[in-house]
Amino acid sequence: QVQLQESGPGLVKPSETLSLTCTVSGGSISHYYWSWIRQPPGKALEWMGYVYYSGSTNYNPSLKSRLTISVDVSKNQFSLKLRSVTAADTAVYYCAREGDFYGSGWFQYWGRGTLVNVSS
């Protein structure tokens, strides 16, 4: 069974960079699309972007200027960096794997999520 686990600081200061890593176990990171999805407290889910195992990426246009998602196949991990954060970036951040090889946009496996607060 594929499992995903987010890790990273739970508190980030405004204007700094939010960095998270997702570690994949129970399966290879190869051949799939890997996404970050976030959820501000009490609000809806927001797709942030994906990285394909080859390293190609696609980002939500609303975040594209601040976001970098990368993959490390040797470690079975992928990562997120969100620059110049504000309080509006406070959210639970989920990593997720798409269900097929084609990037059809459905998310079969999810991490448990990690809450990141942006505050001084």
Point out which residues bind other proteins (CB under 8 A). Answer: 37, 44-47, 50, 58, 61, 94, 99, 103-108, 110-113
Residue 64 CB, shortest distance to other proteins, in Å, is: 11
Minimal distance in Å, beta carbon 106 to other proteins?
Answer: 4
Q: Closest CB to other proteins among 19 and 110?
A: 110
Q: How far is the CB of 13 from other proteins (least distance, A)?
A: 27
| Contact between 71 and 51 (Cβ < 8 Å) | yes
Nearer to other proteins, 8 or 16 (CB): 8
Buried-exposed string 45-55: b where 16+ CB fall within 10 A, e elsewhere: eebbbbbbeee
31/43 with CB nearer other proteins? 43
Q: CA torsion sign, 77 to 120 to 49 to 2? A: positive
Q: For residue 16, which phi and psi values (nearest 5 degrees)? A: -90, -175
